[in-house]
Chains A and B, each alone.
Chain A
Amino acid sequence: MAKIGVLIETSDEGVKEANGGVITAARGEAGNEIYAFVLNAKAADCRNALQQYGVAKVVEVSADAAAWVSSPDLQARALAEAIKHFEISTLLGLSSAQGRDLLARLAALIDAPLVQDCSGINLAEGTVKKSHFSGKTFATIKLNGNLRICSIRPNTIEAQPAPVEAEVLTFQAAVQDPGGLVVKEVKKTAPGSVELTEANIIITGGRPIGAAENYKILRECAEVLGAAVGASRAVVDAGFAPHSMQVGQTGKTVSPKLYIACGLSGSVQHFAGMKTSRVIVAINTDKDAPIFNKCDYGLVGDLFEIVPVLTAVLKEQPQ
């Protein structure tokens, strides 16, 4: 039985839902002993959310330094001590901006092999699967060494409950802030928006959206679906949506279970960011639009007509 670590990501609302898939991946076939490392929340507050997926120990990691919150390098050092102390053989985390950042700092610091943004993992063999060339191919990669680090793309491994009783521990690392880098503040540019990369469902508007206020019809539909709203580059370049909403080669890479593309032609660069979605629906006025050749369900028609009907039909559904 191996000891597998999971770096837990929390938000103001508590443990992020996307951690469930990462913990499920950590369980593997063999029923590994899972240590969940919590850096920026109280372990006791996270216990319920984590033990339902089979976490055996919830470890609150800290260091006695004023720089804790503002220094990712200090956090990486503390995490390095913690995984050494608990004899972790593989550490997993979320492939989010923060997860990737901390895991890369850690891997560089302790010179461990790291594969980011994995969509499958075989713990016994020490291999992972990940996208190369924006999802045109998948590579199987072997990580050599006694300690391996992987970040997992949100939504690619389905969370499966396996409830246990978790123990809560604390680990105070004797490390110093190396100094240099300081996080000064976090600015909210679009408050309350669901993070695209972690969303289960995404509804995206393309060029015909035509104006920022027209996103309203997508947002209304998204609300009923519990979805996040995305944009194509055409819309971002026209200034109708912020870059943080852009999906694609030069935007975000997403893998939701359902992707609804409204008024998108199906460009290679847009698909580079969403082709690994489980189900893709396209709404387009042009029956010959290329997107219909590479998606699951197609509706020919005007998005301004279809989307409000979709919202209404969804509202009528029994819960």
Chain B
Amino acid sequence: MQIYVCVKHVPDTAAKITVVGGTGFAETCKFVINPYDEYGVEEAVQIVSRAGQGEVVIVTVGRENAVNTMRSALALGAHRGILVKTDAQFLDSNLTSQALKKAIVQDGSPDIIFTGKQSIDSEGMQTPYRLAQALGLPVATEVVDVKINDRRAVVEREIGGGSREVVEMPLPCVIGATKGLNEPHYPKLPDIMRAKKKEIRKIDIRALGVDIADGPTQILKLDPVPERSRAKMLQGSTREMVEELVRRLKEEAKVL
């Protein structure tokens, strides 16, 4: 099994985001592996270890410091990494998927490509589809269960309203992971040490022939969202508080 996992280096969910220069943010905050991609790494490592042979390769499009995130994916048991170097955190999904495709095709022939269902920074929700289209492969995302048998993948997707869709695809295919697929394990110290010695090959995005000037979407502006202020605290007995709440929801907030 040759499995590639697309892993993005993103600000931690708890990080404070400070907008800088209108369309960027202060990248001094803590960065982590995109949480959905971590489920992909865990699943890939488990599949290869069950198969008893194969390789898990981490592919990241990002800045030089994304190697830290790649190391944490390697500590989960992936074998090596490829970093496609860019100058900016935000890159159009179309260009990102072109870069991922070229990096993967240049490296080997995938049996499975895992991604997350979305990046938690730009929330694009489309890279796996564009990557699959570029490679001519079938794709399913928001996947919570994967079974591989006889070169076919049977996956389950959560589709809302408490329903799940069961989808079958031949390998190779692209699978977008989400929470529920597995529980990523905590790497042990020796795993972290070993990860430091694993190979990370670096390629400049321009060397792959991706024209980064030519994105079909453009961020014009990034605006911080002010936090809500302190709640209006309702007073009195339980019944009085509740009656006051219902009155305010009707008359003041007009949501009932």
Note all chain A residues with C-beta closer than 8 A to B130. Answer: 104, 107-108
Q: Chain A contact residues (Cβ within 8 angstroms of B): what range?
A: 35 or more
Contact A101–B14 (Cβ < 8 Å): no
How far apart sit A203 and B205, CA to CA, in the bound complex (Å)? 46
**Among the listed B17, B165, B219, which residue makes an inter-chain contact with A141, where contact means beta carbons less than 8 Å apart?**
B219
Note all chain B residues with C-beta closer than 8 A to A44. Answer: none
Report the minimal beta-carbon distance from B242 to chain A, rounded to whole angstroms: 5
Contact A299–B234 (Cβ < 8 Å): yes
Report the minimal beta-carbon distance from B92 to chain A, rounded to whole angstroms: 8
How far apart sit A186 and B157, CA to CA, in the bound complex (Å)? 9
Note all chain A residues with C-beta closer than 8 A to B241. Answer: 299, 301, 306
Report the minimal beta-carbon distance from A226 to chain B, rounded to whole angstroms: 10
Chain B residue with minimal CB distance to A182? B168
How far apart sit A101 and B159, CA to CA, in the bound complex (Å)? 10
Note all chain A residues with C-beta closer than 8 A to B215. Answer: 144
**Among the listed B11, B133, B227, B239, which residue makes an inter-chain contact with A133, where contact means beta carbons less than 8 Å apart?**
B11
Note all chain A residues with C-beta closer than 8 A to B25. Answer: 133, 137
**Among the listed A97, A134, A243, which residue makes an inter-chain contact with B157, where contact means beta carbons less than 8 Å apart?**
A97
Does chain A have a CB within 8 A of B162? Answer: yes
Report the minimal beta-carbon distance from A47 to chain B, rounded to whole angstroms: 24
Does chain B have a CB within 8 A of A204? Answer: no
A116-B125, A139-B221, A258-B249 are known contacts. Are A97 and B160 too (CB-CB below 8 A)? Answer: yes
Report the minimal beta-carbon distance from B93 to chain A, rounded to whole angstroms: 8
Does chain A have a CB within 8 A of B188? Answer: no
A117-B125, A292-B230 are known contacts. Are A193 and B216 too (CB-CB below 8 A)? Answer: no
Does chain A have a CB within 8 A of B123? Answer: yes
Does chain B have a CB within 8 A of A249? Answer: yes
A283-319 to B contact mask, C-beta < 8 Å, 1/0: 0000100001111111111000110011001100100
**Among the listed B36, B218, B238, which residue makes an inter-chain contact with A144, where contact means beta carbons less than 8 Å apart?**
B218
How far apart sit A96 and B144, CA to CA, in the bound complex (Å)? 16
How far apart sit A84 and B11, CA to CA, in the bound complex (Å)? 39
A137-B25, A144-B218, A257-B255 are known contacts. Are A298 and B233 too (CB-CB below 8 A)? Answer: yes
How far apart sit A145 and B252, CA to CA, in the bound complex (Å)? 43
Contact A133–B120 (Cβ < 8 Å): yes
Contact B231–A181 (Cβ < 8 Å): no
- If over half of A's interface residues share one DSSP class (helix, strand or loop), that class is named, otherwise mixed; here it is mixed
How far apart sit A93 and B178, CA to CA, in the bound complex (Å)? 22
A108-B132, A189-B164 are known contacts. Are A142 and B158 too (CB-CB below 8 A)? Answer: no
How far apart sit A184 and B173, CA to CA, in the bound complex (Å)? 17
Report the minimal beta-carbon distance from B211 to chain A, rounded to whole angstroms: 14
Does chain B have a CB within 8 A of A113? Answer: yes
B126-160 to A contact mask, C-beta < 8 Å, 1/0: 10011011100111111010000000001011111
Contact B233–A249 (Cβ < 8 Å): no
Give the residues from 11 to 50 in chain B that come closer than 8 angstroms, CB to CB, to chain A: 11, 13-14, 16-17, 19, 25, 35-36
Contact B123–A292 (Cβ < 8 Å): no
B105-137 to A contact mask, C-beta < 8 Å, 1/0: 000000000000000111111100110111001
Note all chain B residues with C-beta closer than 8 A to A198. Answer: 160
How far apart sit A221 and B235, CA to CA, in the bound complex (Å)? 21
Note all chain A residues with C-beta closer than 8 A to B162. Answer: 188-193, 195, 242, 244
Does chain A have a CB within 8 A of B245? Answer: yes
A97-B158, A132-B122, A300-B233 are known contacts. Are A294 and B228 too (CB-CB below 8 A)? Answer: yes
Does chain A have a CB within 8 A of B193? Answer: no
Contact B223–A109 (Cβ < 8 Å): no
B201-226 to A contact mask, C-beta < 8 Å, 1/0: 00000000000000111111111110
Contact B163–A250 (Cβ < 8 Å): no
A250-B35, A269-B14 are known contacts. Are A181 and B169 too (CB-CB below 8 A)? Answer: yes
How far apart sit A305 and B169, CA to CA, in the bound complex (Å)? 50
Contact A298–B165 (Cβ < 8 Å): no
Does chain A have a CB within 8 A of B197? Answer: no
Contact B129–A272 (Cβ < 8 Å): no
Note all chain B residues with C-beta closer than 8 A to A139. Answer: 122, 219, 221-223
Contact A292–B233 (Cβ < 8 Å): yes
Does chain A have a CB within 8 A of B187? Answer: no
Could you list some 16 contacts between A and B, CB below 8 A?
A: A104-B125, A105-B139, A133-B120, A144-B218, A181-B138, A181-B169, A182-B167, A183-B166, A251-B179, A268-B14, A269-B13, A293-B229, A297-B248, A310-B242, A313-B242, A313-B243
Which 9 residue pairs are nearest across A and B when measured between Cβ atoms?
A190-B162, A298-B231, A108-B133, A113-B216, A180-B138, A104-B129, A181-B138, A116-B125, A195-B161
